[in-house]
Amino acid sequence: MKKKSILLASILLAISVLLSLFVLYTPIPSSDSSGFSAVSAAGFIKDFSLAPHSIYDEEAHEEVRMYLKDTLSEFIGEDQVFEYDYTAAEAGTDYDVHDLFGIIPGQSDIAVMLVAHYDSRGHIGRSGELGGSYGAADDGYGLAVILEIARLFGGRDDLQNSIYVLFTDAEEVGLDGARMFAQESDIMANVGFVINLEARGIQGAAYMFETSANNETIIDFYHNADLPVSYSIATAVYRVMPNLTDFTEFLDIDKQGVNFAVLDSLYYYHTPRDNYTNINLSSIQHYGAQVLPLVEEFTSDSVYSDVNYFVGAQDQVFFTLFPNVFVSYTDAFARIFQLLLFAIEIALLVYLILKKEIRGVSVIKNTGWIFLSIVVFGVVYLYLSKLIAWIGKTPWNLTYVRMEGSELPTLILMIVGVVGYDLLYRKLVKSETERKAFIIAAILINIVLANLTGWTLSGASFLFLIPSLMGLLVLILETFVKKPLVYWISSSVAILIMLLVLIPLLYSLFMALTVGGLAALVAIMIFYLILLVPLFEKQLHS
């Protein structure tokens, strides 16, 4: 019987892990010109990424600008394409700035504005950046996606609302094009929504990684995207980080909108390897899968003719659970629900103590062990990340280690962490009473952190809500139903959901933070392991 339990539990775990690998699925590239085509978009990239075209590469920079102007004019009409030129004196820079602006008119002047920058990285910046980028991904992906949308919408006479296209200059050296255009008050007064398209790598999912503040209406709107990929922890953290894009300039004038980027393969970013031969068609298709439905929705419904439609009163918490399964709920709901879970957890704790199924001192002891393990693992993995950077001869930074080949050692270390924590649990927990006390402590830690982050960094609260909710549901059923089959089903569902959230999120955070953030990754992993391990271990021995 035990062998069958081990086999079944292992199969269920393997299936859960396998399914989690599909959460960040990107679509098959399309060559069908009747819809968004990554093949067509790649053709634009091939044409304008022939050479580095930063503001310092004056001839190539001008050739790219004229290519964009001519191509956009072909799609939406020459009379709808405008040049906005700012002298060095006007821009407060050492160079002139040249933006391109296009209009696809609708019945209403209120518009969704699509933004991408056309200058490539031309100077050495942060450690590991070589400059001399061909701009195929950064920001060729954004330019090509917008041109493809202009091809599809240009000439249409059925649009309820308008589309603005903005190709900004000098983003790489100071967001100068966006900063200057944001001062064009007559135009910006009609912008109801901004979609900025960026790239911080060359492949993988196109993440919607940033929103304007009070995004409740924006996230409802984002549900229209196909294959949405986003986590509210990213938008919450990004707001307090020093990273800037053109989107920042429009946020500064209180515009609402979203920001997209691919993150995978940071070591291609801002180097000559960002060229046409390394582009990823599936990633480009994923941009289109998300952005095109948003533009279609905005231009087809008169409700968006109100320029203030997307002004919200609160944020939402959100995450991608599976392809086209995007979960979101308001901050207010999260806070109420998390307080309710906390009350249920305390009630269950008291009940189990009164029934003498656990001891209060065991809960306290296990709470201490869990916190101690997080600290110890965090410190160990901090120095392991520094060791990896040292071996790779790459300067270490908490969120920015540009090192090729760090994926495999990171994966190995994370697996070692899982095995190590399982061994630690087996050493600490020897009885059913201790197991329940450990689970109660694990749920309590997570639900307290969910409540704390719900008030301080709400976008991160789902990190702790998911394991606490799953653990609490399983423990309630285990306590009051007491049927092995119910435990198997409930624990299997709980393990599946936690892994569907945890594995893609860890991968995404690794791409965003790089190996420098290894300590943070293992800490997040432990908040899930403290429930995953006891649930799985009971499956093995039941």
Give the domains, in start order, of the chain with CATH numbers.
2-22+330-541 (no CATH), 38-322 (3.40.630.10)
pLDDT for 237 equals: 77
pLDDT for 122 equals: 87
Q: Dig out the tokens for 184 from the structure.
A: 């064009």
Q: Dig out the tokens for 298 from the structure.
A: 């905005």
> Which runs of consecutive H residues, i.e. helices, occur in 182-263?
185-188, 216-222, 232-239, 246-251
Q: Chain-wide mean pLDDT for the chain?
A: 95
Give the Cα separation of 203 and 283 in Å (integer). 6
Whether 171 and 177 have beta carbons less than 8 Å apart is answered as yes
**Alpha-carbon distances, residue 107 vs 162, 163, 256, 305, 355 (angstroms):** 7, 11, 21, 9, 69
Q: Any idea what DSSP says for residue 14?
A: H
Give the Cα separation of 124 and 119 in Å (integer). 14
Q: Any idea what DSSP says for residue 121?
A: P
pLDDT for 528 equals: 98
pLDDT for 242 equals: 65
Give pTM, 2 decimals.
0.95
pLDDT for 321 equals: 97
**Alpha-carbon distances, residue 187 vs 103, 163, 252, 385, 542 (angstroms):** 11, 12, 16, 48, 66
pLDDT for 241 equals: 67
Query: Which residues in the chain come in under a pLDDT of 70?
Result: 1, 125-127, 240-242
Query: Which residues, other chains included, contact 474 with Cβ-Cβ below 8 Å and sequence gap of 6+?
Result: 487, 490, 491, 494, 535
Q: Any idea what DSSP says for residue 103?
A: E
Strand boundaries in 105-252, DSSP class E = 111-117, 162-168, 191-197, 203-211
